[in-house]
């Protein structure tokens, strides 16, 4: 039986990584196999493309080029990891997926959404997630969290992936609005959770929705 595919979306600093780990822990306690992954990335080839997309100057790529790079990464990720995992009964939980392209390159970047969707769903035959968790947070709060995260990264000598963070507050306000717009278009697929709550309260709401849908 095909296992569910769940994506987490939202602007910078919303806590996706933390909540993904907590959901995976919950699912494993319920006896489920879980694979945590991310986009761009998730496979060796896709991780190489991630480096191109998330590092460098903010204007390194135009929106169409970004879309092509993300789509190549995503296609490899899906055929080599996500689809095989779901087919064998492993839940897949991904930090970002196709809705990020619909927002960053589409609604905000200027590529018509119909073209983004045609490429992703008609040409590349990519599936939509069974559930998308949108962690919604004000841009000011999100960027403050990002600053703290970068300090931690620098302290341990890791490389910052900060190309999108450099784009400015107005860009990120548009990103937040665009994600909320998508969630309103597909309320049956999205759950919107306020990310300014405690980590525990956010996790409880997400796990409750997963349990409601799949009766774990």
- Residues 64-74: pLDDT tens digits? 999 999 999 99
Q: What is the pLDDT of residue 154?
A: 60
DSSP symbol at 104:
I
Prediction pTM value: 0.93
Q: What is the pLDDT of residues 157-214, one digit of tens each?
A: 566 677 888 888 999 999 999 999 999 999 999 999 999 999 999 999 999 999 999 9
Residues 27 and 210 sit within 8 Å (Cβ to Cβ): yes
Q: What is the pLDDT averaged over residues 143-148?
A: 84
Beta strand segments in the chain, E: 5-9, 34-38, 91-95, 131-136, 190-194
Per residue in 95-137, pLDDT (tens digit) is 999 999 999 999 999 999 999 999 999 999 999 999 999 999 9
Question: Homologous superfamily of 5-214 in CATH?
Answer: P-loop containing nucleotide triphosphate hydrolases (3.40.50.300)
Q: Between 170 and 152, whose confidence is greater? A: 170
Sign of CA dihedral 42, 54, 97, 34: positive
Q: Give backbone dihedrals phi and psi of 131, rounded to 5 degrees, phi first.
A: -150, 135
What is the per-residue pLDDT for 164?
87
Is residue 31 within 8 A of residue 212, CB to CB? The reply is no
């Amino acid at each position: 039986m095909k296992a569910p595919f769940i994506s987490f979306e939202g602007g910078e600093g919303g806590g996706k990584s933390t909540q993904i780990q907590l959901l995976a822990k919950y699912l494993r306690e319920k006896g489920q196999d879980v694979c945590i992954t991310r986009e761009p990335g998730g496979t060796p080839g896709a991780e190489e493309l991630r480096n191109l997309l998330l590092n460098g100057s903010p204007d390194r790529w135009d929106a169409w080029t970004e879309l092509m790079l993300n789509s190549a990464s995503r296609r490899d990720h899906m055929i080599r990891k996500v689809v095989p995992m779901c087919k064998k009964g492993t839940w897949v939980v991904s930090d970002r997926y196709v809705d990020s392209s619909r927002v960053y390159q589409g609604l905000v970047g200027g590529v018509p959404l119909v073209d983004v969707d045609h490429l992703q769903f008609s040409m590349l035959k990519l599936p939509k997630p069974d559930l998308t968790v949108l962690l919604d947070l004000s841009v000011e709060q999100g960027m403050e969290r990002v600053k703290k995260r970068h300090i931690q990264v620098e302290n341990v000598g890791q490389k910052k992936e900060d190309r999108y963070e450099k784009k400015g507050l107005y860009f990120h306000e548009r990103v937040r609005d665009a994600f909320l717009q998508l969630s309103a278009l597909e309320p049956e697929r999205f759950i919107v959770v306020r990310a300014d709550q405690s980590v525990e309260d956010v996790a409880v709401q997400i796990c409750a929705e997963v349990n409601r849908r799949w009766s774990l």
